[in-house]
Amino acid sequence: MCASDAIDEMDPGKRDIMEATYTAVSKHGYSDLTIQDIADEFENSKTLIYYHYDGRNELLVDFLDYVLQRFLAELPASSESPRDELETLVDTLLPTTVDEEPYRVMLAMFELRVNAPHDDDCREQYLAVDDELKSHLTDILSRGLEAGDFERIDPAVEAELLLSLLIGTRARRLTVYEPAESIDSLKAAIESHIDRISADADSSAPRADDD
């Protein structure tokens, strides 16, 4: 099932709650967010929120998956080459600059990740998020290897590395950079790595498996 189908097939009541939560998070962030803030963006009764969720923390665990599926659904169709598709994914996860409201959503997701060691449900959901992103990366890299965009890689191992690079760089963007501050220097390191694994990389560069 693709990401857009997953959102379309979500219970309509829950989907409305997730959309209201997205708006509320973009306005209030994570720390100060309340069920009332979500209800203020929700056309139905607050009672319906409590029908589906016991409280804010349980709701936000579902919100993690919703944000991931929304992110995947908004990625362009894979009409590009796998290398271009990978670069698009990097740009989407790591925009060079960010407007204030999307930044608050990104920051809320980061704060939830930081809370994961203390919340089993949150940790399990982040494991699922990471697995889905890793699977997406593995698929791109596997197709790129077959198409000749990449060479001498193990797609599964490379996906693990890229996932760690992306998560780590996203954490740096959220902790030490202002939303409007460029992170071109951070992205350049990832782009350099993509160059190194690409088939059109300088063949004269020494490789670990060369004699």
Q: How many domains does the chain have?
A: 2
pLDDT tens-digit readout, 19-43: 999 999 999 888 889 999 999 999 8
Instruction: Specify if 62 maps to a domain.
Output: no
Instruction: Specify if 41 maps to a domain.
Output: yes
Per-residue pLDDT band for 180 (boundaries 50, 70, 90) equals very high
CATH number for 37: 1.10.10.60
Q: Which two tokens stand for residue 120?
A: 């089993």
The range of the structural domain enclosing residue 85 comes to 75-197
CATH number for 89: 1.10.357.10
Least confident of 8-17, 106-115, 135-144, 178-187: 8-17
Phi, psi of 81 (to 5 degrees): -70, 155
Residues 18 and 102 placed together within one structural domain of the fold: no
Residues 81 and 165 placed together within one structural domain of the fold: yes
Contacts 24+ apart (CB under 8 A), 4-7: 4/69, 4/73, 6/69, 6/73, 7/66, 7/69, 7/70, 7/73
Instruction: Specify if 209 maps to a domain.
Output: no
Q: Which two tokens stand for residue 73?
A: 């659904």
Instruction: Specify if 207 maps to a domain.
Output: no
Residues 131 and 173 placed together within one structural domain of the fold: yes
Instruction: Specify if 152 maps to a domain.
Output: yes
Single pTM value for the model = 0.81
Residue 205: is its pLDDT beyond 60? Answer: no
Percentage of the chain modeled with pLDDT above 70: 89
Residues 97 and 189 placed together within one structural domain of the fold: yes
DSSP notation for 141-161: HHHHHHHTSB-S--HHHHHHH
Residue 98 to residue 145: CA distance in whole angstroms: 32
Residues 50 and 111 placed together within one structural domain of the fold: no
Residues 112 and 20 placed together within one structural domain of the fold: no
pLDDT tens-digit readout, 42-80: 988 889 999 999 989 899 989 988 988 888 888 766 667
Residues 116 and 170 placed together within one structural domain of the fold: yes
Instruction: Specify if 35 maps to a domain.
Output: yes
Residues 137 and 81 placed together within one structural domain of the fold: yes
Residues 49 and 97 placed together within one structural domain of the fold: no
Taking all residues of the chain, what is their mean pLDDT, rounded to a whole number? 87
